[in-house]
Structure formats: C-alpha cells, structure tokens
Chain A
C-alpha cells in the first residue's frame, strides 16, 4: 500500500459534501421481491419506502436477508411488513465523525440525511469505506 496516499477527508468535515443526493424508493405495498430487484438494478443496498409521496420507512438488503429469506418467508409479502418505520437521520450540518458515531451507536450502516425536515440524501458506511478503498484500487489499477 502506498503510504504516501493522501487523506481525502477529515472526520471533522461536514457530511454535506459526502452524501448521495439521489435516493431510490419503493412503494410500501410493493413486494419484497420487487424491492430486491430494485436493489440489484440500481446497485444499492437500501431503499426508502414511499406512501403518498412521503417517506414512511426504510429497508436494507440486510432486512430482506434476516426478516424474509432466513425466516423462510415468501418474497411476495409487502415491503411495509418488514420496513423499519423509525427513520434514523442526521442533520446535514453534522460532521463525518457525528455520523460514524451514530452508525456505531445504533448499529446501522445507512443514515438518512435531513435538512429543514426534508430527507435530502443518504450516507452509508460503504460510501465512507469506498473513499479509502478507491485509493487502493487506484494504486493497484495503476500497476
């Protein structure tokens, strides 16, 4: 590993510049299978759950694995039965450190970002690791 590789972020930076500003959603009455298909199609590990244009829940690939597949349930059940209804959010002015602490405290890997009571983005643990992983990938891919 290239020890001189620069640090691309500092944990005291506001999370604003690191968030994904596009969220993919699924309707609450859609089936778990449809949700899984959306995760595959858009290469994402989580979806916001929508009812009448509002976000009413959140679902991750881990929820599908734990609450449906491992329980032997059928994937035709509606998303609303397994979604997490209590959204865990961080304010857009939080720092990266705040968000990491929240992830550790709540034992979650996806945090929705809020600004003026609207959900405006998402940060995942993978996004933060990706920044580091990319340095390694670039290092290898440069040969």
Chain B
C-alpha cells in the first residue's frame, strides 16, 4: 500500500499560503502506484468559505481515494459546518481489502488544543475491533500523540493521548498519521509508527525548514516513510513490521533495580501506610541492587513529612537514589529535600550500568521542565560515560500515560525524547501521573511508575512499583502490586547491541 501524506496546507491567501509547494506535492499523484492520499488537517487557513471553496476546487480533481480531516484552523469561526458541506464527515472509516483507515477530528473549535472525547475514543476502539483481521491498520488525527521536537513548549499533545496510545499499541495499529506542529518527525513505539507531517504549503515552518510531505509504503515485512521536501531532498526511514515476541536466551542477569514513585509519605490518611510497608517488605526480599525513587517521596514539602520519610526510607536495605517532584520542593521542601535526601541531581554507576538523575520539578508548580542548559550537560555527561547500559531518570513523563490528562508531560519533552532516541539511551524511568506503563520507542525503553502508596493512583491493578531486570541480552520490566505482591510482566525487550 502506498500513501501520499500531506498536512497543514493552510489554503488561503498569498501571505502564508505557498500554492507552488502544494502543486509539487500533488504532482506525486502522477505515480500510478499510489493507493490513496491522506490530508491530516489544517486544510484551510481560517475555516472561512472562500478558503474552503479554493480547497474544494483543488481536491475535487483527485481521482484516487482520499481522506481529509479538519484541523484547528478549519474549525475556526464555525468552520466545521463548512468542512462538512465541502468535504463530508470529519470522522469515519475507510476500508479496502487489506487495510482499514480510521480518521477522527481531534480539533476543539477556536482553540489550538486537541482532544478525542469518549464518543470518538469508542468509535476508534470499535472500528479496531471490527477490523481486527485487516493486515494494515491506520489511524489519522490532526493532533499528535507523541511529543514533537523543535516545537517549543509541548502543550498540544492530545489531552487524552495516553489512552489513545494504549489503544493503538494493544490494537496493533501499524501507522498513526498527524500534522499540526509543522515539523516532520517519525517515531516507532513498539510496533506502531507515528508519522508527523511538516506543513505542505504554509510559509510558517519551524527551525528554518521548508515545505514537505510524506510518501509511505507499507509492505508485508517493512514500512517505509519517505519525507520529501519541496526542493527535492529526501529522508527515508525503514521500520520492520514485526517485533520479537519470543524470548528464551537472556544471558546472565547483571542488575536489578526497583523503580518507585509517589510514595507521598505523610501522617495523613492519603498516605497508605499498609501498602508502603507491604511493598517495603517485598522490595527488601527481592535481592535488588538499587532503588530509584522518581519523585513524590513526601505528600508536601514540610518538615514533619520529611522527618517521617527519612525514617521510613532508611528501612530499604539497598542504596536508594532520588529525583524530586514539584510537591517535594514546595514550601520549605527545596531546602528539606537536600537536607534529608541529598543533592537534587543524583546518580549511580558501576562498571556496567549508569543511572543518571535529571531534575524536572519546579517549585510550587506541577509542571515539568528540563531546560536547554541541563539537557546539554546531561547528554555531554552521557556521551563521556563509557557504560554498556545507560539510563536516565526524572519525575515527569516523556511519553503519554494512560488514564491521565497530559499535565505531567514534560514541557520540553519533544526535544528531550528526540535526543534520547537518537542517542539510543537504554532506559528512561519516570514517575508522574500515577499509572504504570512500559514501552520501547526506537531503541529506548521508557517506563513510568504508579504511586506506590498513595490514594491518588489511576490503575485498576492498584498501587504498585516496578522492578527492572537487566540481563546481558534483554531487559524485563515487571509491575508488582504494593499490597499483595503479585507480579506481572510489563514488557521484555532485547538489549541494544
């Protein structure tokens, strides 16, 4: 199957609309092998009648199957009705013999944010269930699910991106197409390829880039994404369509780390003491080399909590390293964290492994930010360290978390994630949003921990912590229920060679 993927055409007036760029992209339609065209939104500049008429004139000439969805610009000033009049339903399912394409409108009128509500979430879920036997499954949304680099503050990931990400991974979706940020980017998470298109014909590009579009070729064994810029330059990326499912040769176990978060120690009933002490007993029996606490050690950054936390955390029988959450450093916490638990930036290393802390917390704020200076220092440091296994840990999540509105997402996650993946960092541990998750993006395993012992948790599995076993040839991530100790595998992946 071959797809021409265009996006953010912003058809309108000359001051921002590059008519010639769109012409170059649509010239690709002369290739008789193309099966379909997909436009992932922001068809028009302002959602007005004049722009819709202009767009219709262009797209009416297309003879192959095509899907066009609205973006935030198309829904400005009541533009959704005009979209429906000119292009039909903004949501739907396209089916061919081998493929299903599910497309949904993710734009919220008169804002830039993206959202897929409960009704449309169920629509995608039902469509994936109905078409489970199709060998190619594609979802199209205007807004992105995975943070995009060079896009400034990450505020436009879909608000329920975590639920959608979980749905797509479980449903074996092959390809997710988006636009919106005017910067082309491709990530592979597990077996799903997330393609974000640049702008095909808006003059507003990012990072000095020029207009571009994607040509996607899906074959039995591989998926190829070719990003073509209008000056004729090309970037090609290949992704295998099947991942490794059977593991039998792990080699020796070299390290076991406990990954915990949001213990929320305090004297309030919001801190679940029984859960904490049950979990502590289990952890101390697991023969672990290290515990990493990804923030939220205390419920609030006040002295009585820190005093209690110090007493409780001393009961762990292995070394522990910490990174703070916003709540750890509110009130006097900024001073108390250092007094009771040491430096804000902590790390652990031996001959083979390195765990490097990153500080993403801001005091009196739940927001997370790493900043350019810390990021540069971190990656220089990681480059200098010669270890076979490198890991970074921080409080805020860098990939969307299920059942959580994306408020815990690191604000500069797009750039950070891109660099983590480019540098093939083996493991990233995070601890916001109190829901476990583990997935591989590129060559990096990203794991989030649930709250170990607070009433504020979002998993139906209950409060939990993770254990990560690093073998010579594989990484295994378990989630362990704090109260009962039952264990389930969140993922197994080969180690990077």
Show the binding face of A for B, using Cβ within 8 Å: 8, 13-14, 16-17, 20-27, 42-44, 48, 50, 55, 92-93, 116, 118-121, 130, 134-135, 137-138, 140-143
Q: What 0/1 readout, one digit per residue, does chain B (351-368) give for beta carbons within 8 Å of chain A? A: 000000000000000000
CB distance A121 to B245 under 8 Å?
Answer: yes
Would you call A92 and B132 a contact (CB within 8 A)?
yes
Could you say which residues of chain B place their CB within 8 Å of the CB of A137? Answer: 461-462, 481, 483-484
Binds A, one of B55-63, B195-203, B411-419, B486-494: B486-494
Nearest CB in chain A: distance from B480 CB, A:
9
Q: Which residues of A contact B492 (CB under 8 A)?
A: 22, 24
Answer whether A25 and B246 are a contact pair too, CB < 8 Å, given A43-B489, A93-B132: yes
Task: Report if A120-B478 is in contact (Cβ < 8 Å); known contacts: A43-B488, A138-B461.
Answer: no
A contact residues around B133 at 8 Å (CB): 92-93
Task: Identify A134's interface contact among B272, B461, B491, CB under 8 A.
Answer: B461
A-B contact pairs, 27 of them (CB 8 A): A14-B129, A16-B132, A16-B172, A17-B171, A21-B243, A22-B247, A23-B246, A24-B246, A24-B248, A25-B246, A42-B489, A43-B489, A48-B246, A92-B132, A118-B242, A119-B245, A121-B245, A134-B462, A137-B462, A138-B461, A141-B275, A141-B463, A141-B481, A141-B482, A141-B483, A142-B462, A143-B272
- Tell whether A50 pairs with B246 under 8 Å between CB atoms, given A16-B171, A17-B171: yes
Contact string against A for B residues 129-170, beta-carbon threshold 8 Å, 1 for contact and 0 otherwise: 100110100000000000000000000000000000000001
Contacts of B245 in A (CB 8 A): 21-23, 118-121
Given A43-B478, A138-B459, 20 other A-B contacts at CB below 8 A?
A14-B129, A22-B491, A22-B492, A23-B246, A23-B247, A25-B247, A42-B476, A42-B489, A43-B487, A43-B488, A92-B132, A93-B133, A116-B135, A119-B246, A137-B484, A138-B462, A141-B275, A141-B463, A141-B481, A141-B484
Query: B478's closest neighbor in chain A, by CB?
Result: A43
- Which residues from chain B sit less than 8 Å from chain A, CB to CB? 129, 132-133, 135, 170-172, 242-243, 245-248, 272, 275, 455, 459-463, 476, 478, 481-484, 487-489, 491-492
Contact B478 A24 (CB under 8 A): no
Contacting B247 at CB < 8 Å: which of A17, A24, A134, A135? A24
Interface majority SS (helix, strand, loop, mixed), chain B = loop
**Minimum C-beta distance from B172 to chain A (A):** 6
A142 touching B455, Cβ below 8 Å: yes
User: From residue A44, how far is it (CB to closest CB) to chain B in Å?
Assistant: 8
Which of A13, A50, A138 is close to B129, meaning CB atoms less than 8 Å apart?
A13
Which residue on chain B has the smallest CB distance to residue A122? Answer: B245
Would A8 and B172 count as touching, CB distance under 8 A?
A: no
Q: How far is the CB of B135 from chain A (nearest CB, A)?
A: 8
Which chain B residues lie closer than 8 Å to A44 at the CB level? 489
Distance between B461 CB and nearest chain A CB, rounded to angstroms = 5
> Given A8, A26, A43, A118, which contacts B460 in the complex, CB threshold below 8 Å?
A8
Q: Which residue on A lies nearest to B132, using beta carbons?
A: A14
A118 to B135, CA, bound (A): 14
**Nearest B residue to A19, CB-CB:** B170
- 3 smallest CB-CB distances across A and B, nearest first, come from A25-B248, A14-B132, A141-B462
- How close is B139's CB to chain A, nearest CB, in angstroms? 15
A33 CB to nearest chain B CB (Å): 16
Cα–Cα, bound, A44→B487 (Å): 10
Chain A residue with the shortest CB-CB distance to B126: A13
Task: Verify A17–B246 contact, CB threshold 8 A.
Answer: no
Once bound together, how far apart are the Cα atoms of A24 and B171, in whole Å? Answer: 22
Chain B residues, CB < 8 A from A138: 459-462
